[in-house]
Amino acid sequence: MVHHFFFLPFREQPIYSTRAHVFQIDPNTKKNWMPTSKHAVTVSYFYDSTRNVYRIISLDGSKAIINSTITPNMTFTKTSHKFGQWADSRANTVYGLGFSSEHHLAKFAEKFAEYKEAARMAKEKSLEKMELASSPSQESPADIHSPLTPPVTADLCRINGTGDDVTLSDVSPNSMLQSDLSPTTPTLAHSPATNKHWEAELAALKSNNAKLTAALLESTANVKQWKQQLAAYQDEAERLHKRVSELESQSSQTNVIKSQKTELNQTIEELECTLKAKEEEMVRLKEEVENAKQLQTQKDELTKKLEDTDLRNKELEEQLADLEQRLESSQVDQESLRKNLKTLLEILDGKIFELTELRDNLAKLIEDS
């Protein structure tokens, strides 16, 4: 299958690019995947503003390994967290892409859906234009198709790329003019009253014919330039192929190198998985460190509160010991006071007894006297 990739620099521009490993389904078994690139290559969405067409294109060196036009019937399917595929009925194959991360796969699928919807809308608009172009003219008094609207618009649509069956080199302005004049010639013979109207239509048609001729000449010049670039690309590709052949002939360990390269790619993928796991582990450890810092802060606060509490307890213990000492001293004083009071009571009792005897003696003396 020939990929006309040399049209890209003139009317197509990349609108999104990513890197992935490219695969195609085995045409024999229709089950196994065959790698079409030895390593991850750039896969790009291109938009053709002239034809209003979206394409997925990927190059491996000078070789186009993907050249798929997005249609509304296509579906991009995620078969794993890093692999997706879609079927291209025009190329009669199924493309597969292996990405380095799930994020890249999701982004590619999102763009695929977006451009698929844009292609569907463009197709609907193209169909609407073709329906309008094929509808009868309302200005013709004899209810005849206008020679300007239907044929010229349909051919312009095909020239601009909205049709897939006609190329620019297949459309001739003279043939368009003849095809447009042929259905109207009998009408001109039988409708003299509409001669002025048809002359105006014919003048407009000639103007459009001149424009189409200019466009055809410009396109022819572009085709020549594209052919020159294609020849340059082919020369460069041939030179690169010769260089590759020389390198392969110089190296007797090509198969070993390929095997080692495959092993290295597998090792790289394993290391990427390990790195991702380590990064997740690092994130988890960072969270644990943050939690540990918070716990340490709480521990420091509690330790300070505990030290303050111990200091307060010591002060209270000192106050308690002082109160106990004062209580003990007060008890000793009370005991001494109690003893003194007891002694005083005994002395007082003796004095009272003596006074009682003295009173009795005085009373007896008074009675005797």
Of the candidate ranges 91-100, 159-168, 263-272, the one whose mean pLDDT is the lowest: 159-168
| Residues 160, 166, 169, 171, Cα dihedral to 10° | -80
How many angstroms separate the CA atoms of 273 and 81, rounded?
13
Backbone angles phi, psi at 15, to 5 degrees: -115, -15
Contacts of 194 by beta carbon, 8 Å cutoff, 6+ apart? 140, 141, 142, 187, 188
Dihedral angle sign, alpha carbons of residues 157, 161, 162, 165: positive
CB 66 within 8 A of CB 22: yes
CB 35 within 8 A of CB 22: yes
pLDDT of residue 252: 55
pLDDT of residue 253: 59
Q: For residue 45, what are the β-bridge partners?
A: 16, 56
- This model's pTM is above 0.75: no
pLDDT at 273 over 70: yes
CB count in 10 Å sphere of residue 163: 15
pLDDT grade for 148, boundaries at 50, 70 and 90: very low
How many angstroms separate the CA atoms of 272 and 99, rounded?
12
How many angstroms separate the CA atoms of 162 and 48, rounded?
11
How many angstroms separate the CA atoms of 243 and 63, rounded?
15
Model pLDDT for residues 309-355, shown as the tens digit of each residue: 999 999 999 999 999 999 999 999 999 999 999 999 999 999 999 99
Dihedral angle sign, alpha carbons of residues 335, 341, 342, 344: positive
CB 98 within 8 A of CB 36: no
How many angstroms separate the CA atoms of 129 and 123, rounded?
10
Nearest CA among 37, 38, 39 for reference residue 66: 37
Angle at 241 between CA 239 and CA 245, to 5 degrees: 115
pLDDT at 150 over 50: no
| Residues 72, 92, 37, 86, Cα dihedral to 10° | 30
Q: For residue 35, what are the β-bridge partners?
A: 23
CB 201 within 8 A of CB 146: yes
Average pLDDT for 287-295: 90
Q: What is the DSSP letter of 317?
A: H
